[in-house]
Amino acid sequence: MISAEFRRSIVEFLRVLGDATRLEVLDILKDNELPSSKIQRKLSRSQSTTSKHLNMLLDNNLINFEKRGNIKYYKLNRNINIENLLTQINSIVTTINKEKLKDIRDVDIIDTLS
């Protein structure tokens, strides 16, 4: 049985991943190390919004940064293998969506034949 504390940790982690902007940041950083200004431009979001999302990802160890002079270059935390997790989630969501579409088609066929 999963402890209440562990369950809370899972929920918090999923909340971090459950935001479209943060998922977009992870996708942007998949093959890149970028400063926040470039991430901000790619997101088309304000500096404060971009900073908020970067900090949440940093706080949850999904990304890290390397400081070069005065500029922080953000990158995925390769120790976590977040890309693999996101690929698995995508596969699950795709399967669920296919099943929903099949159910909708089956209902439509039954309605048409009735």
Where does the pLDDT of residue 114 fall: very low under 50, low under 70, confident under 90, or very high at 90 and above?
low
Considering the domain architecture, whether residues 70 and 106 belong to the same structural domain is answered as: no
**pLDDT, tens digit (0-9, with 9 covering 90-100), for 68-83:** 999 999 999 988 888 8
Q: What is the mean pLDDT of residues 3-28?
A: 93
103 shares a domain with 53 = no
* pLDDT value at residue 111: 60
- Among the listed residues 70, 76, 71, the one whose alpha carbon sits nearest the alpha carbon of residue 25: 76
Residues 57 and 1 in one domain: yes
Q: Looking at the structure, tell me whether residues 75 and 87 fall in a common domain.
A: no
Domain of residue 61: give its range. Answer: 1-79
Looking at residue 2, what is its pLDDT? Answer: 83
Confidence (pTM)? 0.80
- Name 75's Cβ contacts closer than 8 Å, sequence gap at least 6: 29, 32, 33, 34, 63, 64, 65, 66
Cα 109 to Cα 68, 99, 106: the distances in Å are 61, 15, 5
